[in-house]
Chain A
């Protein structure tokens, strides 16, 4: 995505530290990171100070010491002044009187002790101060294997404790991106500190978010069926994907985490089979066993209870009298079959229907959201054209002037996501007066989202020859609708939070 266009514009309140944000519905404070910014901010930023204190030590050696001391520069400085030799030894660095001559040598007639390859032609070998030489291919595979743990990497020779500098690792791996070892180190650190850091769950997103303040994992115990949705820690990553820091799932407001879990489990268990069963099977009118008809006539005999019935009207076969192969009861079969379908079967059918009602809407919004993402890409292209167009008219426009477009797409996606989860929310809701209020809020949001979506469809439609003009014509409507989506989504969720907390909305799980 274009960095400029998506430059964070979230309004940070003045008390927050640089790079920190506060979540929308509560006071959780978080910091979105990329791996690169994290390494720079938390690790490499300590180097200049360290270099000032220990100018006699090389940059590479300092970086090794700093990693060894887990990025506590004070520790490095103190240990160095206490006993430099001890620190050097612990870090796997050569003593002061030794040359630290890490070399990439080009030599002839070399036999690598690892792969046993005889290099007669000149080949590059790497060695540390210990002078244990191995060919670059072997060093490359050795480092690729060891790097995942993020720990400092030693010379291949097991009895040798010397550490390979970060810079040499990058050179041996032959990759463009620097700081490979620090990347691995940071990754494994983040994976081990899940109370404080969470990776963004969006597909293909590689950023992560740090929780800074006002979050306690025990507040929302995953197993505890807490109805309180005011406390859900919704954070966003550097790409502005919103997610729940507690269950590490996408932003699922207004649903509490435990409802999301139930819903997802239900969808996995039921949806596929439920669809298929709804379309292909009938329940035996007497014993409710699901029956699939894979051929033959409509005279069914239940294999379980031996009840004979008509597949078309589900009526008792004996009631068909002479008309065995034509179901004369097809049209008024409803009243007849009611006698046979017992209460329980009806109930289960109704509950399945109810589930499918909500699931369908949930799934539609999910797939529409994927569509929206494609639209986003196309609109982005159109935006560029729009910019060019404006430039031609010699009006000095910046990206700020078209910010409204990307804001609108973002609003659309936020609206859809909230809408999607309202169906999960509604599925588990007990009926009541406040349910109706919730549903009408849902309707409002739904209508606005569809209106905006329609405008975007119109813009990128193939038939539309003058996309730029459409954008200009619709600019005000787009801005109004996106503001409306944001405020309606907000009032929907705020309403849900208040009503759940006051016990006016209740879950039925």
Chain B
């Protein structure tokens, strides 16, 4: 494997030594560009108490292009689709090389706290969210309970 850019090494070191509260990210043993990530659902959101697993991959062009991030845990959210793909501006057009893994993960955590059904990725979820927000929130809570809360 090609040598890892200094930028990635530094970011990884800092993620381990100075972790963001509520977020863990650890590189895989066989590929240091692949991270296993968990994000805690924000406490005042329907995702509270949930621990969501994600995968994050740094493409060769990183940091000139955004990391690829995907939810592995099932989640009921208007901006996250069935495959776990995330609709978030900083992961697409608004990416800047000055952003980092930690800032991206914080943005994702913030997205959990502030779903945006007006710019949906999962159209069916967004539809339900707009029609009956209370019901949608309770479904989101249900799913969190079912898929994101460890039973032991």
Contacts and interface: CB of A to CB of B under 8 A. Distances in A.
A180 to B, nearest CB: 17
Nearest to B6: A116
Contacts of A113: 98
A138 B6 CA distance: 13
B63 A114 contact: yes
A142 B97 contact: yes
Nearest to B8: A116
B135 interface: no
A158 interface: yes
Contacts of A158: 94, 96, 98-99
Contacts of A141: 61, 64
Q: Of A114, A117, A157, which is in contact with the most chain B CB atoms at under 10 Å from its CB? A: A114
Interface in B5-55: 5-7, 9-10
B98 A157 contact: yes
B65 interface: yes
Chain B interface mostly? loop
Nearest to A141: B64
A145 B65 CA distance: 8
A158 B99 CA distance: 8
A156 interface: yes
Given A114-B63, A115-B5, A145-B64, A138 B97 contact: yes
A55 B10 CA distance: 48
Interface residues of A, number: 12
Contacts of B63: 114-115
A115 B7 contact: yes
Interface in B56-84: 61, 63-65
A156 B63 CA distance: 11
Nearest to B95: A158
Interface in A132-149: 138, 141-142, 145
A138 B96 CA distance: 12
Nearest to B9: A116
Q: Of A116, A138, A157, which is in contact with the most chain B CB atoms at under 10 Å from its CB? A: A116
Nearest to A157: B98
Given A141-B64, A142-B64, A145-B65, A114 B97 contact: yes
A57 B98 CA distance: 31
B127 to A, nearest CB: 32
Contact of A156 (B9, B61, B98): B98
A168 B41 CA distance: 45
B99 A114 contact: no
Q: Of B9, B63, B65, which is in contact with the most chain A CB atoms at under 10 Å from its CB? A: B63
Contact of A114 (B61, B94, B98): B98
Interface in A105-145: 113-117, 138, 141-142, 145
Contacts of A142: 64, 97
A113 B96 CA distance: 12
A345 B7 CA distance: 70
Contacts of B61: 141, 145
A27 B99 CA distance: 56
A274 B117 CA distance: 55
Interface string A340-368: 00000000000000000000000000000
A163 to B, nearest CB: 15
A115 B65 contact: no
Contacts of B94: 158
A145 B64 CA distance: 7
Interface in B85-104: 94, 96-99
Nearest to B103: A158
Interface in A295-349: none
A388 to B, nearest CB: 53
A156 B5 contact: no
A41 B143 CA distance: 60
Nearest to A140: B64
Contacts of A116: 5-7, 9-10
A121 to B, nearest CB: 16
Contact of A157 (B10, B65, B96): B96
Contacts of A115: 5-7, 63
A138 B5 CA distance: 13
Interface string A84-121: 00000000000000000000000000000111110000
A136 to B, nearest CB: 14
A142 B64 CA distance: 6
Nearest to A132: B98
A156 B64 CA distance: 10
Contacts of A138: 97
Nearest to B96: A158
A158 B96 CA distance: 6
A142 to B, nearest CB: 6
A157 B97 CA distance: 8
Contacts of A114: 7, 63, 97-98
A117 B9 CA distance: 11
A305 to B, nearest CB: 50
Interface in A148-175: 156-158
A115 B61 CA distance: 12
A25 to B, nearest CB: 46
Contacts of B97: 114, 138, 142, 156
A391 B124 CA distance: 80
A117 B7 CA distance: 7
A115 B9 CA distance: 10
Nearest to B90: A158
Contacts of B99: 158
A138 B65 CA distance: 12
Given A114-B63, A157-B98, A158-B99, 10 more contacts: A115-B7, A115-B63, A117-B6, A141-B61, A141-B64, A145-B64, A156-B96, A156-B98, A158-B94, A158-B96
Interface of A: 113-117, 138, 141-142, 145, 156-158
A-B residue pairs, 5 tightest by C-beta: A158-B96, A116-B7, A116-B6, A116-B10, A141-B64
6 contacts: A114-B98, A115-B7, A115-B63, A141-B61, A145-B65, A156-B96
